[in-house]
A and B are shown apart, each in its own frame.
Chain A
Amino acid sequence: MRSDDHAAIKAILAGDREAYGALVRRHSAAIFRLAFRMTSNEADAEDVVQETFLRAYQKLRDFRSDSDFGTWIYRIGVNCALDVIAKRKIMSQEYRISDDIDETDRVVQVADRAAGPERILLSREINNRQQRVMAQLTPAEKAAFVLRHVEDRSTQEIGDILGIAPNAAKQVVFRAVQKLRRELACLRGTQ
């Protein structure tokens, strides 16, 4: 575990709130990236970041000194993102992203600003396809896949973050990959 995280936690538990600011500044960007990849929505991702650190502060007394703070905060971040996804599902009554993706409203299209029009269109199409295939995954599968494939976490770390055994984490990743490949094949077949 990073010794500076360790020192900050000790200080916080002794009453130094400003030390928590150091942890927030250090880990915010990583939690935002995770949250955005899980929710595909910038505003939701911002909410997840704030909620993650608010919850973490309340649970800091439960933090085990032999754990890694980065992994621990990731776990809270994943749970916060899952809550947001669940809330969105209840509000929209749908899980699949619809054919008419409202680019200005729910989903952020991250455009390559240096690209020409064809490249931007291609990039947008790839983004749309990514979102369609990712929509096939359960929240747990999405979390496991993002952690493995994009964040390059080991199955041990994924298990720690999701609160499951490493073998179970591996199986969740396999299921996610199989589903994604099936959906990609379907989309290619319809184009």
Chain B
Amino acid sequence: MTHLNEEQLIDHYYGEATNDGVTQHLRLCRECKVAYEALARDLSELKEMPVPERDPAYGASVWSAIENKLPSPKPDRVGWRLFPARAFAFAAVAAALVVAAFMLGRAWQQAHSPEAAYVVDPNAHKLLLSVLLDEHFERAERFLTELKHADETNSNELQRQARELLAENRLYRESSAKVGGTATTHALQRLERLLAEVANQPDGLTQGDLQRISTHFDSEDLLFELRILTSGPVKTRTTDIGTTRSTI
């Protein structure tokens, strides 16, 4: 008689056995029945994880504690997600670059046509790029935080995110370099190297790979650098994008 393995017993314990064969086998096989009872005893010891009680007003006290810490509401730009994230991200980057190119073209035209009817604001495209970078850096921060806690079981998802971020990151890095944002470009370069390493592992990511990548690319420090860049007002980052002054 083939005995049940531990995995099957655990499945059965949690009610996830896919057929009645296990129940039937436990009725007939004394050895497996003993093994199952031992498993059940062990797990019952861990069933009760008592938690300090919270009174019915607990939720209200949490709300009181955080209400004034909530950021000011931003207008909902597109409502809930209607488009796949990747397609929307690409469309946003492409639109920003088209606008930036248009405005650079207009600015050049203005510079060479003194009788122009109005003056183009030379900082407008930099401001637009800065706003888009805000969102990209927030996504990168979430990715780096997930990388910190990752293990092999979620490596596929990490690689998928890395590939998406990598494609956008290249576009932003090139744009940032063109407008002269030193600190921002530096952060994007560091991020790009880490994303490429994660995305391009051919056989998935082992625990050793995750550890090595985090250490080699100093992901904690990079996370800190991104937080510095996203913590200031947009005006501060606009100052970086457009001058050679470093903000770090």
Q: Which residues of A contact B (CB under 8 A)?
A: 13-15, 17, 20-21, 24-29, 32-33, 36-37, 42, 49-50, 53-54, 57-58, 61-65, 79, 82-83, 86, 108, 110, 126-127, 129-130, 133-134, 138-140, 146, 148-150, 155, 162-165, 168-174, 177-178, 180-181, 184
Contact = CB atoms under 8 A, between A and B. Distances in A.
B118 interface: no
A164 B154 contact: yes
B52 A140 contact: no
Contact of B66 (A29, A53, A127, A174): A53
Nearest to B70: A57
A164 B45 contact: no
B63 to A, nearest CB: 4
18 contacts: A15-B73, A17-B70, A17-B73, A29-B58, A32-B54, A50-B65, A53-B62, A58-B71, A82-B149, A83-B145, A110-B50, A148-B14, A163-B154, A169-B153, A170-B16, A174-B7, A177-B43, A181-B39
Given A17-B70, A150-B47, A163-B157, 18 more contacts: A24-B62, A25-B59, A28-B54, A28-B63, A29-B59, A37-B49, A37-B51, A53-B66, A54-B66, A57-B71, A130-B46, A133-B46, A148-B14, A149-B43, A162-B154, A163-B154, A178-B6, A184-B45
Nearest to B207: A138
B107 to A, nearest CB: 33
A97 to B, nearest CB: 15
A173 B13 CA distance: 12
A166 to B, nearest CB: 10
B81 interface: yes
Contacts of B74: 61
A154 B93 CA distance: 39
B52 A155 contact: no
A64 B58 CA distance: 28
Interface residues of B, number: 43
B31 interface: no
B135 to A, nearest CB: 10
Interface in B1-21: 6-7, 10, 14, 16
